[in-house]
Amino acid sequence: MNDAGDPGEEPEGSPGDSASAGESRALVVVQAPIDHETARELLPYLRNSKKLAGPTASQRLKRRLMARLAGYGERYEAWRLDASRWFDRLDIAPDLAEDIGSRRWLRGLGTMVGLGAVALAFWPDLTPLEARPAMPQSEDVTSEMRSQMILPLALGADSGRRMGPTAAVIPLKSAPERPQIQMVVTLAPGDSFASMLRRAGVAGDDIDRAAALVGQAVAVGDIQSGTQMDLVLGRRTAPGQPRPLDSLSFRARFDLELALARPGVGEVNPDGTPVIPSGPLALQRNVIRVDETPLRVRGVVGTSLYRSMRQAGVPASAVQEYLKALDAQIDMERELRPSDEFDIILAYRRAATGERQAGQLLYAGVDRNGRARTQLMRWGSDGRFYEASGVGEQRRGLLAPVPGPITSNFGMRRHPILGYMRMHAGMDFKASYGTPIVAVSDGRVTSAGRAAGCGIAVRLEHGGGLSTRYCHMSQMAVRAGMQVRRGQVIGYVGSTGLSTGPHLHYEMYRGGQVINPATVQFVSRALLSGTELIDFQRQLIKLKEVEVGAALQDLAPLPNETKAPVREIQKVDTARKPAPAAAAPKRKL
């Protein structure tokens, strides 16, 4: 075979060979470049030839190794199953909740004790952990800790690290002070008007003058706690003297704002310098226009009356008062439907300055199919709710004095202490020591104190010849002569007197004679008549005319209530605002 890469020689077997046809010929491979298309067509044939080729030495070695490992895995699995069956036959850890006391159970107990002993044997140590010793308490430590604290100026601000001056420090002959100090002070609960001003740094003469001026408009003691006051202190008259009070303004009532100021406060001289206030303090009353249109809210009861009312925007306190008034009149679980509508009217006040204040519940109603089903309105000085017909608070059943079961009923029984048959003139309620005892209906406390075998007892007079007595109390919550309402706590369960344990003995009397409490259902009624009934119905009609949500609209400011802008940016914004144009006539579609 000649080298095909030599261009000077002609390969054998070519057409130009002059040898005879009978001579043997050799196969000559010519290396020529293969284009990409041909290589792509030959690629499947090459892959098939590799599949048909026999395994190489490395492949044969890999196959033998995998077969040997598979044999080891099968043998390990068989050994694991054999070991599992062997341990199952041993049954060294049976369920200790079964066959208690048997030999199998004792064998399991031994296994548990043995494992516990092994665990304790390998326990690292039983010594207690060492804790960091407590920080020593001394003046030096306290001083160091105090130096790292940050205290407000109102509390003295005596914290921080202090450094002594060196010789390079030159003391100042005098330090300039601010001509005025503006601050906001708050009347804390239990605090007084004078002590609040004294802590703010106001001079004693100014405190007396301010208290006297404020007292001309409102009682100083009637100012509610939490009231914030804007305070301005002026320049000192001499070094070390307290600053004078230049101005003081605050909201004394919802409809009244008070301002104390000296002449010249806020004024500017022609040369641009501020005027130094001088002269005595003067009082200025700013009466705020208040609208007292009641707030009326209506909505569908739905699955939860409380949630529906809260979603409608009714305050939580008003919702609770509404539910309490309605529950005393109807059975809300049985008589109230999801399709009914609640109707609630609250006392509401709107100030021209934008503040709002919700008051007590005035009207509680329930409508069904567009008609009023229940109508309750507050009337009278005692705040009692009356129906639209003038009937006040009809109770719907006897209220249990304590939330407990009845252990002994009214009638003859063997006394648990005296040991003989005698009349049990009441009902015994089972209750734990200290459980609150409530009045079953409105009434007046006629007696409260020790009552022989009844122990500590309270007796209530309910009117109409009916009275109740509550015995064996641990302590009382009322005294003789007090007026109590239905559900009010009058005492607490105890075991005083002839008693074998904590419980409540409850008695009822009619005309002075004891009766069975289970046969009486209280119905407290207060009937209106004459001119009072007419006034009540007029007020009810007036309340029902209030539009829903009318009180939520803002009050339109009057010309004298528009405040002039103070800051320059506010003046620019006011000048940019266009004058209100006349409303365009509406077109009918």
3-class SS string, 99-140: CCCCHHHHHHHHHHHHHHHHHHHCCCCCCCCCCCCCCCCCHH
Q: How far apart are CA 181 and CA 507, in angstroms?
A: 69
pLDDT of residue 417: 66
> Which of helix, strand or coil describes residue 512?
coil
pLDDT of residue 524: 59
Q: How far apart are CA 363 and CA 378, in angstroms?
A: 6
What's the start-to-end Cα distance of the chain, in Å? Answer: 107
pLDDT of residue 574: 53
22 burial (CB, 10 Å; 0-12 / 13-18 / 19+) is exposed
Helix (H) or strand (E) holding 307, with range, is helix 305-311
CB of 487 closer than 8 Å to CB of 398 = no
Q: What is the 3-state secondary structure (H, E, C) of 320-387?
A: HHHHHHHHCCCCHHHHCCCCCEEEEEEEEEEECCCCEEEEEEEEEEEEECCEEEEEEEEECCCCEEEE
pLDDT of residue 366: 93
> Which of helix, strand or coil describes residue 53?
coil
pLDDT of residue 5: 44
CA atoms within 13 Å, Cβ hemisphere of 95: 3
Give pTM, 2 decimals: 0.51
pLDDT of residue 494: 92
CB of 438 closer than 8 Å to CB of 490 = yes
- pLDDT tens per residue, range 232-281: 888 887 777 888 888 899 998 888 899 988 887 777 777 767 777 777 88
State the DSSP code for 72. H
CB of 301 closer than 8 Å to CB of 340 = yes
Residue that the structure tokens 């022989």 belong to? 452
pLDDT under 50: residue ranges of the chain: 1-24, 26, 579-589
Q: Is 294 left (phi over 0), alpha (psi -120 to 50) or beta?
A: beta
| Residue 192 structure tokens | 């007084």
CB of 211 closer than 8 Å to CB of 220 = yes
State the DSSP code for 411. E
pLDDT of residue 2: 42
pLDDT of residue 96: 85
Q: Look at residues 332, 397, 336, 325 and name the one whose alpha carbon lies nearest to residue 361.
A: 325
Q: How far apart are CA 315 and CA 301, in angstroms?
A: 16
Residues 6+ apart with CB under 8 A from 459: 445, 446, 447, 448, 467, 468, 469, 470
Q: Look at residues 350, 425, 439, 434 and name the one whose alpha carbon lies nearest to residue 395.
A: 439
| Residue 70 structure tokens | 């598979």
Q: How far apart are CA 537 and CA 189, in angstroms?
A: 42
